[in-house]
Amino acid sequence: MKQWTLFEFSAGSDITALTAKQLKRLKQIVWICLLAVICGAAASGPKSTTVLMATAMGLVCILILLQRRKIRFAIGALLWLLTLMICSLISINAGIFDLMLLGYPLVLAYAAMYSGRRFYLLLFGFILLFCSFLALAALYDWLSFSPAVATVNTFITLNLLLLVSGVTMRLIARDTKDVLLQLKQENERVVKSQLEIQRLAQHDPLTGLVNRTQCELGFQRAVAASAQQSVALLFIDLDNFKPINDALGHQAGDEVLQQLATVLQSQLSEQDVLSRFGGDEFVVIISQWQNPAELEQRIQNLLHSCQQEFVVQQHKVQLSASIGVTRAPQDGTDFHLLCKKADTAMYQAKKMGRNRFCWYHSDMEQQQLDKFNLMMRLRVAVKQQLFTVAYQPTYDLKTNQISGAEALLRWSDAELGAVPPDVFIPLAEETGLIQELGLFVLQKACAQVKLWQESGFLLGIAVNISAMQFKQGDLPAVVTQVLADTGLEAHWLELELTESVLIDDTALVKQHIDQLSALGVRFAIDDFGTGYSNLGYLSQFSLNSLKIDRSFVARIGHNKKDLALVNGIIQLASSLGLHTVAEGVEDTQSLMLLQQAGCSCAQGYLWSKAVSPEEFTLHLRKTT
């Protein structure tokens, strides 16, 4: 068990508990005591002088300890030294009637300030016992003391005690005031921090608008206060906001949001609630409106506010927004459900062309649910490869023989049945599954046409490539690997692109086309004439064929303008050394017109729809 010493009772005065200012103040007190002791020794008798000089030497040693950072030991030594000095002076002078008794409260004050509780109690107990002993000794004449008479020494002693007490207590009191002031300032800072934390917990830190939690509370209050009237919930999403962050930086985007929040807030009344939900999304709660026409006008005002021109970092920024609108209680009273419905209506507004608002209707939710279910089924189908590849023959219009095939992806779901490609392909692009689907079709198509070639049927294969596949940086490597795995020579593979692919990230697309063209892979423009129709890319890219869209081909038999367009496309392709493939040929009249115009190849229901590999093989054998 650890043994306590007299000095270890001052645990509360460890160096870690004293600040630099407190240590400095302690040294000042020791110096004041030292000066007082020396002055007292100069005016005292021999015995008292001896005690005081010994005390002075002790105080010097204590100063040395403080300078060497022996704080704990120095404090204990100081308090005991002063206590024993007073005890000695009292004992050799007037006893309990000596003025030095007034020094005990000062020592106890020092102990309370600089020592721990146990040390203070020990010191206080010692002083109490000592004074009690002196009182009993005087009462029963155990000891004899000098009579208490007023002398010059008494005057000096009294003044020294008062001077030391007054100066040191003033220093300690000033430190205490400073501590109290610091505590007050710290308390004010904590209160401000708590208020700021509370504000941040209720508001968006960027715009200062209320957050989702406060918006929900505001909605609930509005519904409760408007029992006889509908409450409108608006979901606002900025159109094409990402390019601002990409071009000017996120700081500029934040400034735009701050300015927009101020503008939107100016369009609302005190009863309305405007909240930033995150990113570039805002929610507005409107409770004060008389009829739908008034509400529509207020929504139009908000749309107009979003269209204002904002100046950010010396750049002018023009915005627009799409808004979805729901009403309580007509569309429900649950805040989160209404937000979901308003979000659905907002996306419908974007589909309708953006920069507009759209009311929520119940069928929108069913459409979203159907889309979600289809998306989940599509993921499962991709994972389990529940797809097939059908092949539609392409005929050479001069020989009327099959010259190639187009690979087309098909999906038949166990519950939904046959899902049209124009339904699941856009969904696959939206979810990023098109990469896996594209690779699946490419592998199947190349492997199949290689089998036909080994059976004696020399024909090429055309595979559609989406914009998402072109944007991935390893398309040339993927195609090269598939060709190597299947053993198909590159010149038998033709990749079909839409016009939109060619103008999206032109540098990357040209790089991929050039790399694959160097291997021998052919390229065709699918649905030519329906896209951007920028003829410049016909000379810019290494292309081989143009596929005339079926919308033109279907009308050439009874529409002279469409016939003229088709003839123009064929002549243009011929002048550029490109082959032409007419899509959607369904009657002999269209076939004859295409042959007269000089079209190279064609495909359509006149010959065959897209069929399984087995059926396609039968077509090959019939035409051979």
Per residue in 428-470, pLDDT tens? 988 888 889 999 999 999 999 999 999 999 999 999 988 888 7
- Note the pLDDT of residue 481: 94
Cβ–Cβ under 8 Å, residues 208 and 220: no
Tell me the CATH number of domain 212-360, given options 3.30.70.100, 1.10.3720.10, 3.40.50.300, 3.30.70.270.
3.30.70.270
Using a pLDDT cut of 70, give the percent of the chain over it. Answer: 93
Cβ–Cβ under 8 Å, residues 348 and 361: no
Which helix (H) or strand (E) segment holds residue 312: the answer is strand 309-312
Q: Which whole number is the average pLDDT over 376-401?
A: 92
Q: Which whole number is the average pLDDT over 551-579?
A: 90
Q: Which whole number is the average pLDDT over 362-376?
A: 84
From the centroid of its chain, how far is CA 611? Answer: 49
pLDDT in tens, 506-555: 778 888 888 999 999 999 988 887 765 567 777 788 899 999 988 889 88
- Note the pLDDT of residue 152: 66
- Note the pLDDT of residue 16: 41
How far is residue 110's CA from residue 30's CA, in Å, rounded to a whole number? 11
- Note the pLDDT of residue 111: 87
Cβ–Cβ under 8 Å, residues 522 and 503: no
In a 13 Å sphere around the CA of 544, the CA atoms on its Cβ side amount to 18
How far is residue 448's CA from residue 405's CA, in Å, rounded to a whole number? 11
Using a pLDDT cut of 90, give the percent of the chain over it. Answer: 39
**Beta strands across the sheet bearing 357-359:** 273-278, 281-286, 231-238, 321-328, 357-359
Q: What is the DSSP letter of 330?
A: T
pLDDT in tens, 474-488: 889 999 999 999 999
- Domain regions of the chain by residue span: 11-179, 212-360, 393-408+434-623
Cβ–Cβ under 8 Å, residues 107 and 158: no
Q: Which CATH class is domain 393-408+434-623?
A: alpha beta
pLDDT in tens, 74-119: 999 999 999 999 898 888 887 777 788 888 888 888 888 888 889 9
Angle subtended at Cα 558 by Cα 553 and Cα 561, rounded to the nearest 5 degrees: 70
Backbone angles phi, psi at 622, to 5 degrees: -70, -35
- Note the pLDDT of residue 6: 44
Task: Tell me the average pLDDT of the chain.
Answer: 86
Residue 260: name the closest of 240, 242, 243, 236 by CA: 236
What is the DSSP annotation of 231-298? Answer: EEEEEEEETT-HHHHHHH-HHHHHHHHHHHHHHHHHTS-TTSEEEEEETTEEEEEE---SSHHHHHHH
Which helix (H) or strand (E) segment holds residue 497: the answer is strand 493-498
How far is residue 457's CA from residue 455's CA, in Å, rounded to a whole number? 6
How far is residue 212's CA from residue 273's CA, in Å, rounded to a whole number? 11
Q: How far is CA 488 from CA 357, 386, 543, 619, in A?
A: 53, 25, 20, 21
Q: Which whole number is the average pLDDT over 571-584?
A: 91
More confident residue, 458 or 623: 458
What is the DSSP annotation of 93-113? Answer: TTGGGSGGGGHHHHHHHHHHH
More confident residue, 145 or 283: 283
- Note the pLDDT of residue 3: 43
Cβ–Cβ under 8 Å, residues 595 and 585: no
pLDDT for 150 beyond 80: no
pLDDT for 394 beyond 90: yes
How far is residue 259's CA from residue 257's CA, in Å, rounded to a whole number? 5
Quickly state the pLDDT bin for 302 (edges 50, 70, 90): very high
Helices (H), 286-397: 292-306, 335-351, 362-384
pLDDT in tens, 245-300: 888 888 989 999 999 999 999 999 888 999 998 889 999 999 888 888 889 999 99
**Letter string b/e over residues 356-368, b meaning 16 or more CB atoms within 10 A of that residue's CB:** bbbbbeeebbeeb
How far is residue 616's CA from residue 209's CA, in Å, rounded to a whole number? 64
